[in-house]
Amino acid sequence: MMERCDFASIAAAIRSDLLDGSFDNQMEFMEALFSAYLEETETYLDMGLVSRWLNGLAKPSPAISSFYQDHRQREELAITIEDAILPSLSDSAMVVQNIHALLLGDTSISDSKKAELCRRYPCKDKTEEAAFLTDVFLFGLSRPFVARDIRKPNLLPSGSLSPILADFVIDGGVPKTCRYFCGRENELAALHDALIHNGKVYLQGIPGIGKSELAKAYAKEHKKEYTNILYLSYTGDLKTDIANLIFADDLPEDDLDTRFRKHNRFLRSLKDDNLLIVDNFNTNAMSDPVLDIVLKYRCRVLFTTRSNLSGLCCLPVEEISDSNVLFQLVSRFYSGAEQQREVVEQIIEIVHRHTLAVELAARLLETGILEPEKVLAKLREEHASFDATDKISVSKDGKSTRATYYDHIHTLFALFRLATAQREIMQSMTLIPLTGVPARLFGRWMGFRDLNDVNEMAELGFLQVKPGNRIALHPMMQEVAISELSPSITGCHALLESIRATCQIHGEDVPYYKLMFQTVENALDLAAKDDPDFFLLLMEDVFQYAEKYNEEAVMKRLIDEMQNLLNDPATGSVKDRAILLDCRAACEKNTSKAIKLIQEALTLLPEVNSSNALLVSNLNSNLGGLYRAAKQHDAARKHMETAISILEEYHLVGGHDSITQILNYAVLLNDLGESERGLSGLRKIEHIVRKQNAGSLDHAFILETMGRLNLSLGNRTQAAEHFRRALKIFETVWSDEPELLTAKRQELPL
C-alpha cells in the first residue's frame, strides 16, 4: 500500500536527507520551516505536538495552514524553504523527486489535483524546487487528516536489542553540546569504559565544570552504539520526570501515578543497548524514593551530579589541565585573546581553570567593558580573601566547603554592569525551571516588543539556549543571580502578572500550563514577598487554573501560602478569606465538610454588591453542586438559582463562570425531570455566546448539553443537530489533541 501524501510523509522525505548537524532536533526543523508564522503570530511550538505532527499522530494546527493561505505568506514560505531548508539537504533534487513520486502514488488524490500540484515539476532550479515543495506542503497541511497507527512496541523482539522508540516515546532528544566543547577526550574514553563495565555511572564535579556538556558529548560520540538514548533534566522528583516523558499512547485522563506506572514498566523492559541520561541529579537527590527503581533498570544510566557520593561508580570531572585547551576556549569568545595572551593565561589560573568562569571572563573581555588588566585586578582583589592554593572540595550534599568558584562567578557577574532590562531578565529567569522556557513565550510574558535583550543575554553567556529555542539559566548561574539580584514579587512583576492574566481566563487551554505552575512554585520558594496583596491575588487566580487541570499538589501549596499571608490581619480582605475557604472546599474529599466550608464563606459576605457579586454567585453555585452530589436536590436547586439570579442582577451573564453555572443548573433540572426548562436557559446563553465567542469550547459544551437534554425529551433530530455542531467545534479547537477528540467522538451519541 502506497504511503499517503500528507504533512508527516512530506516532512519525513525531507528530514531523511538532512546533512549531519542540520536540525538535529525536530523542533529546530519546524521552527525554521514555519519561522514566518511564529514571528508574525508571536507564538511557539510545543515539543510533544511537534513530534505528533511529524509522526502523523496528530493534525498540524489549522492556524498554520490558514496563515499560509495568504499569497504573501505563501511566498514567504517558499523563500524560507529555498534559504533555510534546501541548503541543509544533501541532494535536494532527489528529495523533490521522491516527494513527486509520493504524490503521484497516492490514490486518494485526483488526477486533476496532482496535475495542479505538479505544474512546476520537473524543476529547473532551487527556486522552482522551493515553489514545488511549498505547494505540496500546504496541500498536505490542509487536506483531511488520517492518523497513523501508533506503533506500540509492547513486546520486545526475540533478539538481544530493544525496539526503536522514535515513534513511541516523544522525546526532544539529548541537547546538542556547546559549539566550543573541547579538551575532554580522556574523560570521554573513561566514561565509556565505566558505562560498559558498571552500567550505572555518576559524573561528579563542582557546578560549572562541564559535567552536562561531557554527558551530551558522550551521547553524540556514541549514538550509533545505542538503539535509543533518552534524556531527563532532573527537577527534584524522578517520579514526576519519568511520568512527564511523552508516550504516544498516553491518555488525557491518565494522572501522574498512572503515567509513571506505564512509563516505568516500559523503561524496565529496555536492555543495555539503551542509555538514560539524568542531568543535574544534585543536592539531596540520593534521597529520591524512585532512585532505587531506576538503578534496577537493565539499560545504562548516566547521572550528572555535584554531590560527593561514596560507594557508587563515580567518575570525577575536574578542571581541564591543559592550559592550551582553555586558552582556545577563551579565543572562541574573545577576539583579542592572542594579543593579550599573558593576561588571559593569568585570568585562567586565578579562576582555578573553572570552565564556566573562564567562559564568562572571555565573554566579559569581548564586551570591552573593562580592559583585560582591570578584569585581572578585580579578580585578584576578590582572590585575596582566600589562599590561592586551596583546592575546591564538595561535600556529600553538593555544597562547597570553600565556595571560591562562586566568588569568581559573583565577581564576573558584577563586572558585566548589566542594564536595568538585563537585570530584570535575570531576576525573572531565576523563577523559570532549569528545563527552560520558550524564548518567545518568555518575551511575551515580559512584555518585550522583541527578543533583542534576551538574545544579548545569551550572547553574554548568562542564558543557555536549549532545543526548541528554549532559554534557561545554568544551575550555578541561577544560584549566583538569586544571591546578587534577590528576586522579589515586585522585581518579577511583569512575568507574574502575565501568568496571572492567563489564569484569569479559566476556560482557555494553554499547552504550557505546567511551566506556569512550576514558575509560580519557584516564586513561592525564591522570591521575596514584598507585595503581599498582589501575591495573594496571584495565588487566588493560579488556584482556579490549577483546579481546572486537577493539579492537587499545586492547589495544596497555594492554599498553604494563602493561609500564611492571611494570618496577617493587615493583608487581604474579607473577600480574600472567603476565597480561601472556597479553595479549601475544592480540595476537600468529604462532601459534608466541603459544604460547611462554603457555608462559612457565605457568612463572611452577607451583603451582595458589585465588588463581590461574581464571588457570591460562584459560592452559591459551588454549594449547589455539592448538595447535588449529596442528593439534596432541593438545597441544590435553591443555591443554583440564587447564583444565577445574582449573575442576572449584576449583568454578569455571558462570562465563562456564568456559562459553567448555567450548564450545571440545566443538568440538575434534567435530573429533576425539568429538561424543557433547562433547555430554555441554555438557548438564551447559547444565543449570547454565539454572538460573543462562537466556536469556543464554552460554545461546544453548551451545544453538547442541549443535545443531551433534547435526547432526554425524545427530540432525536434536534439532539443530533446539536451534537453535530458541537463536534465540529471540538474538531477545530482540539485539532492538536487527538486523544481528547477521539474520546469525545466516542462519548457523543451520534
| b/e 50-86 (16+ beta carbons within 10 angstroms → b) | bbbbbbbbbbbbbebbebbeeeebbebbbebbbebbb
Is the torsion defined by CA of 375, 379, 382, 384 positive or negative? negative
Placement of cell 524514593 in the chain: 289
Per-residue pLDDT at 231: 87
**Amino acid letter, 646:** I
**427/418 Cα distance (integer angstroms):** 11
Query: Which pLDDT does position 285 carry in this prediction?
Result: 55
Each residue's pLDDT tens digit, 367-386: 888 888 888 888 887 654 44
466 band by pLDDT with thresholds 50, 70 and 90 = confident
Q: How open is the CA angle 402-480-459, to the nearest 5 degrees?
A: 125
- Output phi, psi for 618, to 5 deg: -65, -40
Quick one: pLDDT band at residue 601, thresholds 50, 70, 90? Answer: very high
Alpha carbons 340 and 326: distance in angstroms, whole number: 14
In CATH, what is the architecture of 169-316?
3-Layer(aba) Sandwich (3.40)
Establish whether the linkage from the previous residue to 738 is cis, with ω within 30° of 0.
no
> What would the mean pLDDT of 674-678 be, rounded to a whole number?
91
Angle of helix 656-671 relative to helix 675-693, nearest 10 degrees, comes to: 160
Which residues neighbour 468 within 8 Å (Cβ) at sequence distance 6 or greater? 25, 27, 28, 31, 45, 47, 50, 172, 438
Measured CA distances, 232 to 174, 175, 245, 359 (Å): 9, 10, 8, 25
Residue 412 has pLDDT above 90, yes or no: no
**In angstroms, rounded to a whole number, what is the distance separating the alpha carbons of residues 448 and 462?**
18
Sequence-distant (6+) residues with CB within 8 A of 641 are 665
Range 411-431 average pLDDT: 87
* Residue 401 predicted with pLDDT over 50: no
SS (H, E, C) 521-564: HHHHHHCECCCHHHHHHHHHHHHHHHHHCCCHHHHHHHHHHHHH
Do strands 470-472 and 464-466 pair parallel, antiparallel, or not at all (unpaired)?
antiparallel
Q: What is the mean pLDDT of residues 381-403?
A: 46
Across 623-651, average pLDDT: 94
Helix (H, G, I), strand (E, B) or coil at 477: helix
The mean predicted confidence, pLDDT, of the chain is 84
State the number of CA atoms in the 13 A half-sphere of 595 facing the CB: 15
Q: How big is the CA angle at 86 (ends 32 and 21), to the nearest 5 degrees? A: 65
Amino acid residing at 120: R
Q: Judge contact between 330 and 337, C-beta under 8 A.
A: yes
Cβ 48 vs Cβ 246: under 8 Å: yes
Looking at residue 460, its pLDDT comes to: 84
Three-state DSSP class for residue 322: coil
- pLDDT score recorded for residue 321: 79
Among 191-205, 465-479, 679-693, which is the least confidently predicted range? Answer: 465-479
What count of residues does the chain have? 750
pLDDT at 260 over 80: yes
CATH code reported for the domain at 418-487: 1.10.10
Query: Which pLDDT band, with edges at 50, 70 and 90, does 280 fall under?
Result: confident
Lowest mean pLDDT among 179-183, 199-203, 317-321: 179-183
Whether 154 has a pLDDT exceeding 50, the answer reads no
pLDDT per position as a tens digit, 653-670: 877 888 889 999 999 999
pLDDT of residue 392: 42
Instruction: Kindly provide the residue ranges of all beta strands, DSSP E only, lying in 249-395, ordered along the sequence.
Output: 274-279, 300-305, 314-316
What angle, rounded to 10 degrees, do the helices at 493-504 and 532-548 form? 40
State yes or no: pLDDT of 153 exceeds 50. no
C-alpha cell at 314: 563515580
pTM score, two decimals?
0.73
pLDDT band for 387, please (50, 70, 90 cuts). Answer: very low
pLDDT digits (tens, 9 = 90+) for 34-55: 888 887 876 777 766 777 788 7
pLDDT tens digits, 546-565: 888 788 889 999 999 999 99
Amino acid at 80: T
Pairwise CA distance, residues 750 & 737, whole Å: 20
Q: Which amino acid makes up residue 709? A: L
**What's the pLDDT band for 578 if we cut at 50, 70, 90?**
very high
What's the rounded mean pLDDT across residues 423-448?
91
How much of the chain, in percent, has pLDDT values that exceed 90?
A: 35
Say if residue 1's pLDDT is above 50. Answer: no
Q: Are 362 and 334 in contact (CB under 8 A)?
A: yes
What is the fold, at CATH topology level, of the domain defined by 654-750?
1.25.40
Can you state the percent helix, strand and coil of the chain, rounding each to 5?
60, 5, 35
pLDDT at 445: 94
